[in-house]
Structure 1
């Protein structure tokens, strides 16, 4: 690209190179990629707090620029315009075990920049799967549920793990081993009768967490916003207004800021704006026969919903159904990795790693 063309595009400098560093010069030379701020490689990630653009090789160096744990949070750089594949491909079987049935929640453990560990909970135990060098997965059972308290929802960020359980009024924070000494109450509702259900870390507002609450006596639900220290700072919508959802069993925040609520009583997924206005319910029909379980989102703002009797529904940010995958496996839980790999747990104990974008 010539200097004259650069000037027409507003990128010319009239010969003035003062105040510009080497990285700026590289990025004005007409190449089709943005360069890492530390080297000549193409940018792969952007650190949200620093706004630094780094390649895959320099991620480790960038992590060492701050001593505070969890300071850096990486996202993929640039727009991803891949399409939903017409033929989703099973990359591999993570596990096939009859003892691992009825999984309630699945999440990625916080490894940057790409998680290689998955945490899974069902009515019997909590398990961690770790990717091995040869492509296989190892399994480690961490903790058996005690008494009638069963872990039902797990949410992870780049540095934290939260979970809710049946018959518990608290949201708990734990370490990666779910150890007794590493587990503590994180949040408890101030009003009696409200119990935590779904939890989700915010993708838009750092250090904010969404928590779904359900009152069995009133048969009503609420979703609140909590700071990283466990302090409630607001509601999704007005505190007292009637909500479209009843039991916010699972939550996910979309990249565009929408909050996705899987309601096991209303048998729908409700997608709301951050101020609480309902954007749309899914499915749109009133007579829904399938009960949704976990809900997840990807980098393209697609929403993925696990239906034990009807597969994984992939819808776009406006509620249009794009594709149904895993229709025959009775999926009970799903999550999406940073590379948009879909992990699906089925009712019969299978867990698969699926490529659904092409």
Structure 2
């Protein structure tokens, strides 16, 4: 085998292509044997040839050739023109007064910047895109499942319709048979009566003929005619037959009766993903790991609260929860033991409208009748906000430690969301871009509020039977009107609302006895339907466990719904 073509061949001289390489020209980047070295150097004396041992090849920096001055190396860099330059360039008028640096300094800065960018690509950007790819894959899987469930629901509803139609057809046919039997029996009885009359008339005719033919006058005189009886004809039975009046089938009306699909949408949100950070900092959370929804959520524990009517729950920590019901006492419970740790009574003696927990762990409650927002610090109640023409309902704290409060006007005609920093109003959200009210007016305690991870403001509006989501600036993003088919086939009746680490929005539906899970863009994902008893209040802890305040049985149920 020719050693020059063998896979185990040694490096050969680039010039003669036969001798084993011994040296390397770091200037021209060629392999050379010693026999060809002199010829290579003398072939081009215009540049300095740096000859090194082959093992030390590529150790020499290759400066850029100057475009303006032939055969000159650019050892400097013009910062103003942002180009490498040679010494002749610097001496010329072209770069007069320009700031010039040594090119090696510029190269070092460039290398450092590239290394930083490479680190960012490896440690931040690449892992983030991997997480995004995983998230998209999971959403595709969820999309496939949801559309499959949607088709199944439509098929099942169609089968239900077929069963009802079959029952209706059977019922109508039974009514037809019953009507036919009734009318047929009447006609048959009438027929029997007529036939008997005919027989009697025939006997009368025979008797008359015999009397007129006899010579016996006594027999003739004894015959009595009953013709006058038969002159009175029987009543005629008039039948009114039933008709099948077919209901007209109109496609649009039939569609409304059967059910219709709500519109789907495809939107994009430039703030939908967050850059993954190599490690958590106290100021910013890292990109959350993607968690799958459980097909069958699990009940972890239940806590008896003793309220007459339980309405709200708020997490103080992963071990403790605050609750409020239809009395003037707010209770703190230990989750694991279910034991009562503390009770706080409202200053006014009224029921609290809603409760929340601040970032520092203080309890906040709204007092609708007293028109105040209050904070509990070290078991002492401080009035933070006092209102005149408005009454506070739902309340939540924001990531920036502000408060979002739903306010309801004294005349029951308006509702709005106000952002407070302390007692100072920072923002009011009430109307959309067309000047229409974002939130309904009406009954008390029917609106709850929370802030999502993307800083969207989410309101559960029980009067409007919708979840209304606006962005941080107060611009309407979407309205979620519920999803069909619902577990109990009742109208959507949203009450408590919360979010989790995946930016899911969860809202309690006390008519369908479930919790709706939608994504941050308003698309339905799943129901939590695990034997809930009139769910009203919701909250989540740092591990994405869901706590549900149940009105009917006065219990808080802790539910695991994410993997």
Please report the TM-score for the alignment, with normalisation by the length of structure 1.
Answer: 0.70
Residue 448 (structure 2) aligns with: 250
Instruction: Summarize the alignment of residues 149-168 of structure 1 with structure 2, pairs less than 5 Å apart.
Output: 149-159=350-360, 160-168=362-370
- How many Å separate the matches in 2 of 1:106 and 1:13? 56
Q: Deviations over 1:50-74 (max 9, x none)?
A: x5xxxxxxxxxxxxxxxxxxxxxxx
Between the two proteins, the alignment pairs up a number of residues equal to 287
Q: In the alignment, does 2:396 pair up with 1:200?
A: yes
User: Which is greater in Rg?
Assistant: 2
Q: What is residue 355 of structure 1 aligned with on the other side?
A: 560
Give the Cα–Cα distance (whole angstroms) in 2 for the partners of residues 164 and 340 of structure 1: 26
* Residue among 544, 549, 558 paired with 1:345: 549
The alpha carbon displacement at 1:108 in A equals 1.3
Deviation at 1:188, TM superposition (A): 2.2
Partner of 2:159 in structure 1? none
Show the counterpart of 2:304. Answer: 96
- 8 Å CA contact 1:312, 1:327 repeated in 2: no
CA distance in 1, matches of 2:109, 2:545: 43
Cα distance, 1:238 vs structure 2: 5.8
TM-superposed CA distance for 1:101, in Å, is 4.7
Spell out the pairing of 1:235-246 with structure 2 (5 A cutoff).
235-236=428-429, 241-246=435-440
Pairing 1:307–2:509 present = yes
Distance 2:109 2:540 in 1: 44
Give the 5 Å matches for 1:1-358: 45-48=280-283, 75=285, 77-93=286-302, 95-96=303-304, 99-109=306-316, 111=317, 115-124=318-327, 125-131=329-335, 135-144=336-345, 149-159=350-360, 160-175=362-377, 179=379, 182-189=380-387, 192-203=388-399, 206-227=400-421, 229-236=422-429, 241-247=435-441, 249-283=447-481, 289-310=491-512, 311-326=514-529, 328-329=531-532, 330-347=534-551, 348-358=553-563
User: 1:143: Cα distance to partner?
Assistant: 3.0
Separation (CA, whole Å) in 1 of partners of 2:506 and 2:463: 19
Structure 1: runs of 5 or more not aligned: 1-11, 33-41, 52-74
- TM superposition shift of 1:147: 7.1
Q: How far 1:328 sits from its partner (Å)?
A: 3.2
Checking the alignment, whether the CA contact within 8 Å between 1:202 and 1:209 is kept in structure 2 is: yes
Distance in 1 separating the partners of 2:310 and 2:449: 16
Separation in 1, partners of 2:353, 2:429:
22
- RMSD of the TM alignment (CA)? 3.4
CA distance, structure 2, for counterparts of residue 290 and residue 172 of structure 1: 31
Change (3 A) 1:101 1:331: farther
2: CA distance between counterparts of 1:148 and 1:161?
A: 17
Change (3 A) 1:103 1:234: same
Shift of 1:79: 2.2
- Displacement of 1:136 in angstroms is 2.7
Change (3 A) 1:346 1:127: same
Shift of 1:270: 0.7
Q: Matches of 1:138 and 1:305 in 2, distance apart?
A: 27
> Deviation of residue 352 (structure 1)?
1.8
Within 2, Cα distance between the matches of 1:138 and 1:198?
A: 27
Describe the superposition over 1:206-240 as per-residue Cα deviations: whole angstroms up to 9, x where unpaired.
1322111101414210111111x211112126699
Inter-partner Cα distance in structure 1 for 2:308 and 2:545: 21
Residues 270-318 of structure 1: per-residue CA shift (max 9 Å, x gap): 1112222222222168xx8343211000111101111222211111111
How far does residue 350 in structure 1 lie from its aligned partner after superposition? 2.3
| Greater helix content | 2
Change (3 A) 1:291 1:15: closer
Q: Which has the higher strand share?
A: 1
| Matches of 1:116 and 1:241, distance apart in 2 | 44
